[in-house]
Structure 1
Amino acid sequence: MRKHKFVERFLLIFLFAVMFTIQCSTTGFGPQGGIFTSTKIGIHGISNTGAKTGSACTYSILGLIAFGDASVTAAANSVGIAKVNTIDLEGLSILGLFSKQCTVIRGD
Protein backbone atom coordinates (compact mmCIF):
# COMPACT_ATOMS: atom_id res chain seq x y z
CA MET A 1 0.00 0.00 0.00
CA ARG A 2 2.81 2.40 0.89
CA LYS A 3 4.58 1.73 -2.42
CA HIS A 4 1.37 2.51 -4.30
CA LYS A 5 1.14 5.98 -2.63
CA PHE A 6 4.79 6.70 -3.49
CA VAL A 7 4.21 5.84 -7.16
CA GLU A 8 1.03 7.89 -7.19
CA ARG A 9 2.81 10.94 -5.73
CA PHE A 10 5.73 10.52 -8.11
CA LEU A 11 3.41 10.42 -11.12
CA LEU A 12 1.52 13.48 -9.90
CA ILE A 13 4.74 15.46 -9.40
CA PHE A 14 6.01 14.27 -12.78
CA LEU A 15 2.76 15.35 -14.47
CA PHE A 16 2.95 18.83 -12.94
CA ALA A 17 6.62 19.13 -13.90
CA VAL A 18 5.82 18.20 -17.49
CA MET A 19 2.91 20.65 -17.63
CA PHE A 20 5.05 23.38 -16.08
CA THR A 21 7.95 22.92 -18.50
CA ILE A 22 6.07 21.97 -21.68
CA GLN A 23 6.45 25.49 -23.04
CA CYS A 24 10.15 25.71 -22.22
CA SER A 25 11.05 24.68 -25.73
CA THR A 26 8.81 26.79 -27.93
CA THR A 27 9.29 28.93 -30.99
CA GLY A 28 8.84 32.03 -28.84
CA PHE A 29 7.05 34.01 -31.53
CA GLY A 30 3.41 33.97 -32.57
CA PRO A 31 0.77 31.53 -31.39
CA GLN A 32 1.93 28.50 -29.43
CA GLY A 33 0.33 25.07 -29.33
CA GLY A 34 0.90 22.95 -26.25
CA ILE A 35 1.26 19.77 -28.32
CA PHE A 36 2.36 20.94 -31.76
CA THR A 37 3.20 24.28 -33.35
CA SER A 38 4.03 24.98 -37.00
CA THR A 39 3.87 28.65 -37.95
CA LYS A 40 5.01 31.00 -40.69
CA ILE A 41 4.93 34.70 -39.91
CA GLY A 42 5.95 37.53 -42.25
CA ILE A 43 7.67 40.36 -40.40
CA HIS A 44 9.16 42.51 -43.18
CA GLY A 45 8.58 43.04 -46.88
CA ILE A 46 9.48 45.86 -49.27
CA SER A 47 9.04 44.41 -52.76
CA ASN A 48 8.74 41.19 -54.74
CA THR A 49 10.30 38.18 -53.12
CA GLY A 50 13.55 38.19 -55.10
CA ALA A 51 15.59 35.56 -56.90
CA LYS A 52 17.30 33.96 -53.88
CA THR A 53 16.03 32.44 -50.64
CA GLY A 54 18.21 31.90 -47.60
CA SER A 55 17.48 30.61 -44.12
CA ALA A 56 19.17 30.29 -40.75
CA CYS A 57 17.79 28.42 -37.72
CA THR A 58 18.05 28.06 -33.97
CA TYR A 59 17.10 24.93 -32.04
CA SER A 60 16.05 24.11 -28.50
CA ILE A 61 15.89 20.71 -26.85
CA LEU A 62 13.79 20.27 -23.69
CA GLY A 63 14.19 23.96 -23.01
CA LEU A 64 17.60 23.05 -21.58
CA ILE A 65 19.87 23.26 -24.60
CA ALA A 66 19.57 25.99 -27.22
CA PHE A 67 21.91 26.63 -30.12
CA GLY A 68 22.12 28.18 -33.58
CA ASP A 69 22.26 31.52 -35.37
CA ALA A 70 18.99 32.68 -36.92
CA SER A 71 20.11 36.21 -37.67
CA VAL A 72 19.29 37.97 -40.92
CA THR A 73 23.02 38.18 -41.61
CA ALA A 74 23.45 34.42 -41.28
CA ALA A 75 20.47 33.79 -43.57
CA ALA A 76 21.76 36.28 -46.16
CA ASN A 77 25.27 34.85 -46.09
CA SER A 78 23.96 31.31 -46.58
CA VAL A 79 23.08 32.08 -50.23
CA GLY A 80 24.84 35.39 -50.89
CA ILE A 81 21.94 37.85 -50.67
CA ALA A 82 23.05 41.50 -50.75
CA LYS A 83 19.61 43.17 -50.75
CA VAL A 84 16.94 41.72 -48.46
CA ASN A 85 13.35 42.08 -49.72
CA THR A 86 11.36 39.96 -47.27
CA ILE A 87 11.93 38.43 -43.85
CA ASP A 88 9.74 35.62 -42.52
CA LEU A 89 9.89 33.57 -39.33
CA GLU A 90 9.09 29.87 -39.42
CA GLY A 91 8.56 28.02 -36.16
CA LEU A 92 8.17 24.37 -35.24
CA SER A 93 7.64 22.94 -31.75
CA ILE A 94 6.74 19.40 -30.77
CA LEU A 95 5.41 18.76 -27.25
CA GLY A 96 7.75 21.39 -25.87
CA LEU A 97 10.52 18.82 -26.26
CA PHE A 98 11.98 20.11 -29.50
CA SER A 99 11.74 23.55 -31.05
CA LYS A 100 13.12 25.12 -34.21
CA GLN A 101 12.90 28.81 -35.17
CA CYS A 102 14.11 29.84 -38.63
CA THR A 103 14.59 33.23 -40.24
CA VAL A 104 13.82 32.96 -43.96
CA ILE A 105 14.82 35.84 -46.20
CA ARG A 106 14.32 36.49 -49.89
CA GLY A 107 16.20 38.96 -52.02
CA ASP A 108 18.86 39.55 -54.62
Structure 2
Amino acid sequence: MKTFPETPYRVVFCTCPNHDVAQGIAGALVEARLAACVNIVPGIQSVYRWQGKIEKDDELLLVIKTRQERIPELQRMIRQRHPDEVPEIIALPIASGSPAYLAWLGAEVGLG
Protein backbone atom coordinates (compact mmCIF):
# COMPACT_ATOMS: atom_id res chain seq x y z
CA MET A 1 0.00 0.00 0.00
CA LYS A 2 1.44 3.34 -1.05
CA THR A 3 1.53 6.03 1.60
CA PHE A 4 1.64 9.75 0.93
CA PRO A 5 3.51 12.29 3.00
CA GLU A 6 1.11 14.53 4.86
CA THR A 7 0.61 17.95 3.33
CA PRO A 8 -0.19 21.12 5.33
CA TYR A 9 -3.57 21.27 3.57
CA ARG A 10 -6.90 20.33 5.10
CA VAL A 11 -10.51 19.76 4.10
CA VAL A 12 -12.93 21.00 6.74
CA PHE A 13 -16.56 19.86 6.88
CA CYS A 14 -19.27 22.01 8.40
CA THR A 15 -23.02 21.45 8.14
CA CYS A 16 -25.38 24.44 7.93
CA PRO A 17 -29.14 24.64 8.52
CA ASN A 18 -29.95 26.74 5.43
CA HIS A 19 -28.55 28.37 2.32
CA ASP A 20 -28.24 31.85 3.85
CA VAL A 21 -26.06 30.59 6.69
CA ALA A 22 -23.98 28.48 4.29
CA GLN A 23 -23.46 31.40 1.88
CA GLY A 24 -22.60 33.76 4.72
CA ILE A 25 -19.99 31.48 6.22
CA ALA A 26 -18.50 30.49 2.85
CA GLY A 27 -18.19 34.08 1.67
CA ALA A 28 -16.68 35.28 4.95
CA LEU A 29 -14.08 32.49 4.98
CA VAL A 30 -12.95 33.14 1.41
CA GLU A 31 -12.99 36.93 1.89
CA ALA A 32 -10.78 36.60 4.99
CA ARG A 33 -8.44 34.19 3.15
CA LEU A 34 -9.15 31.50 5.71
CA ALA A 35 -10.33 29.24 2.87
CA ALA A 36 -9.24 29.04 -0.75
CA CYS A 37 -12.56 27.53 -1.81
CA VAL A 38 -15.79 26.43 -0.16
CA ASN A 39 -18.18 24.04 -1.88
CA ILE A 40 -21.80 24.26 -0.75
CA VAL A 41 -23.43 20.85 -1.11
CA PRO A 42 -27.24 20.87 -0.75
CA GLY A 43 -29.49 17.93 0.08
CA ILE A 44 -27.74 16.55 3.15
CA GLN A 45 -29.86 14.87 5.81
CA SER A 46 -28.30 14.51 9.24
CA VAL A 47 -29.52 12.06 11.87
CA TYR A 48 -28.05 12.52 15.34
CA ARG A 49 -28.81 12.44 19.04
CA TRP A 50 -29.09 15.86 20.73
CA GLN A 51 -30.00 16.26 24.39
CA GLY A 52 -31.31 12.69 24.57
CA LYS A 53 -33.54 12.92 21.49
CA ILE A 54 -32.99 11.60 17.95
CA GLU A 55 -33.03 14.53 15.50
CA LYS A 56 -33.32 14.54 11.70
CA ASP A 57 -32.45 17.74 9.85
CA ASP A 58 -32.12 18.76 6.23
CA GLU A 59 -28.83 20.61 5.94
CA LEU A 60 -26.16 21.82 3.55
CA LEU A 61 -22.55 20.69 3.77
CA LEU A 62 -19.64 23.09 3.46
CA VAL A 63 -16.47 21.50 2.06
CA ILE A 64 -13.76 23.99 2.98
CA LYS A 65 -10.19 23.87 1.64
CA THR A 66 -7.52 25.49 3.82
CA ARG A 67 -4.17 25.00 5.56
CA GLN A 68 -3.63 23.61 9.05
CA GLU A 69 -2.37 26.99 10.30
CA ARG A 70 -5.68 28.63 9.41
CA ILE A 71 -7.94 26.22 11.28
CA PRO A 72 -8.10 27.96 14.69
CA GLU A 73 -9.17 31.28 13.13
CA LEU A 74 -11.46 29.47 10.68
CA GLN A 75 -13.19 27.72 13.60
CA ARG A 76 -13.68 31.02 15.43
CA MET A 77 -15.25 32.61 12.36
CA ILE A 78 -17.61 29.67 11.83
CA ARG A 79 -18.69 29.73 15.50
CA GLN A 80 -19.38 33.49 15.29
CA ARG A 81 -21.66 33.06 12.26
CA HIS A 82 -23.26 29.67 12.89
CA PRO A 83 -26.62 29.47 14.71
CA ASP A 84 -26.04 26.01 16.22
CA GLU A 85 -24.86 25.74 19.80
CA VAL A 86 -22.33 23.09 18.72
CA PRO A 87 -21.64 23.43 14.99
CA GLU A 88 -19.97 20.54 13.21
CA ILE A 89 -16.39 21.51 12.37
CA ILE A 90 -14.25 18.52 11.35
CA ALA A 91 -10.84 18.81 9.66
CA LEU A 92 -9.23 16.02 7.65
CA PRO A 93 -5.72 16.01 6.14
CA ILE A 94 -5.27 16.16 2.39
CA ALA A 95 -2.76 13.37 1.80
CA SER A 96 -2.07 14.24 -1.81
CA GLY A 97 -3.36 16.34 -4.66
CA SER A 98 -2.53 18.09 -7.89
CA PRO A 99 0.64 20.13 -7.22
CA ALA A 100 -0.79 23.09 -9.14
CA TYR A 101 -4.06 23.00 -7.17
CA LEU A 102 -2.28 22.71 -3.84
CA ALA A 103 0.02 25.61 -4.75
CA TRP A 104 -3.06 27.71 -5.64
CA LEU A 105 -4.75 26.67 -2.39
CA GLY A 106 -1.71 27.72 -0.36
CA ALA A 107 -1.41 31.05 -2.17
CA GLU A 108 -5.10 31.85 -1.65
CA VAL A 109 -4.93 31.39 2.11
CA GLY A 110 -1.86 33.59 2.24
CA LEU A 111 0.60 30.97 3.34
CA GLY A 112 1.74 29.63 -0.03
> Between Structure 1 and Structure 2, which shows a larger proportion of helix residues?
2
Common fold: TM-score over 0.5: no
Which of the pair has more CA radius of gyration? 1
Q: Normalised by the shorter chain, which TM-score bucket? A: under 0.3
Give the structure-1-normalised TM-score.
Answer: 0.27
Give the structure-2-normalised TM-score.
Answer: 0.26
Point out which structure has higher relative CO (alpha carbons under 8 A, 6+ apart): 2
> Between Structure 1 and Structure 2, which shows a larger proportion of strand residues?
1
